[in-house]
Copies of this chain bind each other. A is one copy, B any other.
């Protein structure tokens, strides 16, 4: 089943700056081969639902293995049966003023 998702990873206990862990999480997601779009509040992804859920698991496993003690991930998943899903189609052109 194809899906779209937004993955936001929040490391807890690494200090006020979480940049290193957030970059690493994005990298783990990108290395899965999923289509990704990075933005200020997470990584949007497009692909098979299994692959997306595997990517989320890989992020938790990788960051814990590399020393992050606690992680919270906020995930949004979208699926539909009436037509193909894509990040490009979801991202409409905003109306001109």
Chain A residues in contact with chain B, CB under 8 A?
A: 1, 3-4, 6, 8, 10, 12-13, 15-19, 22-23, 26-27, 30, 37-42, 44, 49-50, 53, 56-57, 60-61, 64, 69-82, 87, 90-92, 94-95
Closest to A15 in B: B13
**Copies of the polypeptide in the assembly:** 4
Closest to A13 in B: B16
Of the candidates B1, B41, B70, B79, the one whose C-beta lies within 8 Å of that of A44 is B41
Contact status B71-A74, CB under 8 Å:
no
Separation of A3 and B71 alpha carbons in the complex (Å): 10
Of the candidates B4, B57, B82, the one whose C-beta lies within 8 Å of that of A50 is B57
